[in-house]
Chains A and B, each alone.
Chain A
Amino acid sequence: MGKETTYLNLFRNYREVLRQYSAPLMDSKREAAIGLFEKAGFPGPKDEAYRQCRLDALLEIDYGMNLYRLSAPPHPSKVFRCEVPSLSTKLFFVVNDVYYPDPDPQKLSEGVLYGSINAILREYPELMAPYYDRIAGQSADAFAALNTAMAQDGFLLFVPAGVEIEQPLQLIQLFHGEIEQMANRRNLVIIEDGASAKLMICDHSMTQSSCFSNQVTEVFVGKKARLEYYELEMTHPNNARLSNTFIDQQASSSVFVNGITLNNGVSRNNLNLRMLGEQAESMLSGLCLLDSHQFADYHVDVEHVVPQCTSRQLYKYILDDESRGVFAGKVLVHPNAQKTSAYQSNANLCNSSRARMNALPQLEIYADDVKCSHGSATGQIDENALFYMRSRGLSEQEARAMLKFAFVADVIEGIQLIPLKNRIHNLVGKRFRKQMSACAGCDIC
């Protein structure tokens, strides 16, 4: 229990500070969460869910936490750009785990709340009480519990019933500062009945020191509501990301999730989706392009609780050098969830003798009138295709890049925001041609 003790002591010693700087609603969940964390402890190699994901070395590092809520001097919008050409997004920034006030005076539609989760929970405790920590609080994940115990800020978006936000929203989560630090970021997204939104979360880093982001995002999608949710990670080899995303979906709602890992160190993304209302629909997709020593681990759990829902999963990995990829996708169909249709597909391209891939596609089904299937395949670039392209005068590098591009095309094509799709196209293309070292588009690194 060595590593846990550090955090338990930190929690106890700074209990007052945590209380002082956070909304009462946030604070009220801490005791239960720390208890859960103490009981569970950090997952080790014997925990089935984390068997392939070695975090020991990362947890040895003595991270600093910004408990006193100090803010870094320059406003991030001055120094950081992650622009999607011809896509005018509304930008929000979280640096380390501090939300930076929106410099743009233009407000979103009437009734929409957005901004610092801490401030909004303080201001609207009654409105937010049914949502905050409702799903994460049920999770057995130690990192989610640690987040609930320690988190002090993050981003919140609340879209009231019937409001449709056309403009895509973009949240940029940054690491900044010279010290080794851990950020417990907490996000909450509520899309009420009949509302819709498009949210893009980009993770970047402006420092080369070791950073650990332990983030929890709870998403509530109401009846007939629509959400497009994009995640893009472009950090660096010293960055560790542990992300827990919980999505609850109500009847006739539609959720689209797309997660892309381009540059990172160690990433573990848990995505838990529950379909709680009939006729709900979801499409979850992801793409990991890994090289050098990158490690990416996607754990996707889809739970069909009620009948007549449709879920699809599409995850692709390309592994080079000594990178490692893990994909664990699970579809759980509850006893009465008849007429469920669930499909899961995972394909991986292994290009180096030292790259490693683990796939665990799982089905757990307790209802009979269902159509569930999964497929997983791992292989390499077809030599015949390569030969064909070379015989047409393409260099080997170019031919390989094109074939890899074709391999991932269906994940990128699925992106519904056209400008974003083009941007990802561009980034992925650059990446395959090895023209991109770290986060392109940022002025600092």
Chain B
Amino acid sequence: MKSTEDKDIITQVTAGEYKYGFVTDIETETIPEGLNEDVIRLISSKKMEPDWLLEFRLKAFRHWQSMEKPQWAHLDIPEIDYQKMVYYAAPKSKTSGDNEEDIDPDLLKTFEKLGIPLQERKQLAGMAVDAVMDSVSVKTTFKESLAKKGIIFCSFSEGVQEHPELIKRYLGSVVPYTDNYYAALNCAVFSDGSFVYIPKGVRCPMELSTYFRINAINTGQFERTLIVADDDSYVSYLEGCTAPIRDENQLHVAIVEIVVHDRAEVKYSTVQNWYPGDKEGKGGIYNFVTKRCLCKGESAKISWTQVETGSAITWKYPSCILAGDNSVGEFYSVAVTNNHQQADTGTKMIHLGKNTRSIIVSKGISAGKSQNSYRGLVKIAPKASNARNHSQCDSLLLGDTCGAHTFPYIEINNETAVVEHEATTSKINEDQLFYCNQRGISTEEAIGLIVNGYAKEVINKLPMEFAVEAQKLLQVSLEGSVG
């Protein structure tokens, strides 16, 4: 195959369209744009928050003002005017969400269009959803049936009202407000998100899921998710997200905190599909997310799986603090960038306890004019004897104008650690393509096959419904980019 022909096919394959770019015309209650202490007080009062939470927000805001935005990532982030943004937007007809007839039909339709039916009878059995639009949670399904097992699954705001003692105990315990620039911003203005508590010994019978949707114009989404898995419990949690097509960039700054106690296990899967901007790099979401899990108890386990296809800029490092002895951290990631997208993503594995183990599998795919970086830290603390880590970071380049980068940091402070890291960067093997062609498979299909095979190790870790979705997404994201 001639290289120009290859190039054409790659261009075709990566030229896929964003399917979720519609806007719901719904009346939205917003507050004036700008960011100051009054705005924070206003958000807090709208959510009827207790004083300690307002105090927490204000402390975070004051700290944020003293911080500078991080420059170390391999990203070109345009100046963001934080005063030109709206920090709270709520679809107006929002109800308590207890009764499904109460939900605005427009909202129902929106989520249905996104493939997230909010009526329990329509849902796939075995999945409970918390649907969040802009700054508020619209509806949480299966809340009651989960409550029977003692599981708390509700919007964050509801959690604050109904389980203040839990929120107070865990909020900021994994990601303190001083952690980083974007985390501090989130702590000051966070809106809604999900709160999950799995009591001792309970295995959550269904997948819990949150669907984030940005709808309103000129707003940022600042959600906050807190998951606590008590001793011997298990939960699998999924997260999905989309946004309308707009020429302006919108900001998404989130925090996810997870606490895993003795012998508990949390599986956290993300399919991130925020609007990536158009082919010229106009518009798209800036996705600056702090995700961290504290494996507090012994033999605790966390598994992060992420499929990143959206966002104009991604800055995201789901991390594991393996504090409990024998705890396990896993990170599986596929990051696809196309057109002018930029991604700087990876993980941190911080081994504090004895016999802790971690594995990192990161697959980057870059096409178009995009830049895709893996950045990861593996740190073995002096007392973490017999720690074990294996990292594998592969990058696949489709096209000669994209970039793929690997920045691993390995810090070893204990002699009994065994840490391995390997990375490769290459384009699709011409022999493989030739082999497929020879068998009558077109180059375009062959590339689809090879890319899916390449990402399979990660996709296999996703819950089934998500895996199918992710596979499709991978194909769409790369549509028109084969070469």
Contact = CB atoms under 8 A, between A and B. Distances in A.
A56 interface: no
Nearest to A357: B412
Contacts of B31: none
B interface residue count range (under 10 / 10 to 19 / 20 to 34 / 35 or more): 35 or more
B41 interface: no
A372 B411 contact: no
Contacts, number: 119
Interface stretch (B48-56, B165-173, B401-409): B401-409
A374 B412 contact: no
Interface string A25-61: 0000000000000000000000010000000000000
Nearest to B420: A377
B414 interface: yes
Question: Which among A348, A358, A365, A368 has the greatest number of chain B C-beta atoms within 10 A?
Answer: A368
Given A370-B425, A370-B426, A372-B425, A338 B382 contact: no
B386 to A, nearest CB: 11
B410 A376 contact: yes
B415 A380 contact: yes
B408 A364 contact: no
A313 B413 CA distance: 24
A324 to B, nearest CB: 10
A376 B408 contact: yes
Interface string B363-402: 0000000000000000000100000000000010111111
Contacts of B403: 364-366
B366 to A, nearest CB: 9
A18 to B, nearest CB: 36
A378 B400 contact: no
B421 interface: yes
B422 interface: yes
Contacts of A350: 412, 414-415, 417
A interface residue count range (under 10 / 10 to 19 / 20 to 34 / 35 or more): 35 or more
A356 interface: yes
A360 B412 contact: no
A378 B417 contact: yes
Interface in B279-333: none
Interface string A234-261: 0000000000000000000000000000
A371 B395 CA distance: 11
A91 interface: no
Nearest to B410: A359
Contact of A365 (B397, B408, B422): B397
B127 interface: no
A354 B416 CA distance: 11
B468 to A, nearest CB: 29
A369 B418 contact: no
B413 A378 contact: no
A356 B413 contact: yes
B419 interface: yes
A373 interface: yes
Contact of B400 (A48, A338, A356): A338
Contacts of A365: 395, 397, 403-405, 425
Contacts of B414: 350, 353
A370 B400 CA distance: 10
Contact of A358 (B405, B410, B426): B410
Contacts of A372: 424-426
Contact of B427 (A319, A369, A380): A369
B75 interface: no
Contacts of B401: 335
B103 interface: no
B410 A360 contact: yes
Question: Which among B406, B414, B415 has the greatest number of chain A C-beta atoms within 10 A?
Answer: B415
Interface string A330-344: 000001001000000
A360 B399 contact: no
Contacts of B417: 350, 378-379
Interface in A110-150: none
A351 B427 contact: no
B423 interface: yes
A378 B74 CA distance: 26
Contacts of A335: 400-401
Q: Tell me the dominant secondary structure on chain A's binding face.
A: strand
A397 interface: no
B400 A358 contact: no
Given A338-B400, A368-B398, A376-B420, A363 B406 contact: yes
A346 to B, nearest CB: 9
Contacts of A359: 408-410, 412, 421
B408 A361 contact: yes
Contact of B422 (A356, A368, A375): A375
B75 to A, nearest CB: 13
Contacts of A352: 415
Question: Which among B397, B399, B403, B425 has the greatest number of chain A C-beta atoms within 10 A?
Answer: B425
Contacts of B422: 373-376
Contacts of B409: 358-360
A202 to B, nearest CB: 30
A389 interface: no
B421 A376 contact: yes
Interface string B423-435: 1111100000000
Contacts of A361: 406, 408, 410, 421, 423
A360 B418 CA distance: 16
A363 B422 CA distance: 11
B415 A355 contact: yes
Nearest to B394: A373
Nearest to B375: A362
Question: Which among B397, B399, B412, B413 has the greatest number of chain A C-beta atoms within 10 A?
Answer: B412
A367 interface: yes
A374 B416 contact: no
Nearest to B405: A364
A369 B423 contact: no
B399 A368 contact: yes
A379 to B, nearest CB: 4
A379 B418 contact: yes
Interface in A310-335: 319, 335
A378 B382 CA distance: 15
Contacts of B420: 375-379
A380 B395 CA distance: 29
Contact of A377 (B74, B421, B426): B421
B405 A363 contact: yes
Nearest to A350: B415
Given A359-B410, A363-B405, A374-B406, A379 B419 contact: yes
A352 B400 CA distance: 46
A240 B165 CA distance: 55
Given A48-B72, A376-B421, A362 B412 contact: no
B395 A351 contact: no
Given A378-B419, A379-B419, A367 B400 contact: yes
B352 to A, nearest CB: 15
A356 B425 contact: no
Nearest to B411: A358
Contacts of B406: 361-364, 374
Contact of A375 (B72, B412, B415, B421): B421
30 contacts: A354-B382, A355-B415, A356-B413, A357-B412, A359-B409, A360-B410, A362-B406, A363-B405, A363-B406, A363-B423, A365-B425, A366-B402, A366-B403, A367-B397, A367-B400, A370-B425, A371-B424, A373-B423, A373-B425, A374-B406, A374-B421, A374-B422, A374-B423, A375-B420, A376-B419, A376-B422, A377-B418, A378-B420, A379-B417, A380-B418
Interface of B: 72, 74, 382, 395, 397-427
Q: Which 4 A-B pairs have the closest CB atoms?
A: A368-B397, A359-B410, A373-B424, A350-B415
Interface of A: 48, 319, 335, 338, 348, 350-380
Given A358-B412, A365-B397, A373-B422, 9 more contacts: A360-B409, A362-B408, A364-B74, A364-B406, A375-B421, A376-B421, A376-B422, A377-B420, A378-B419
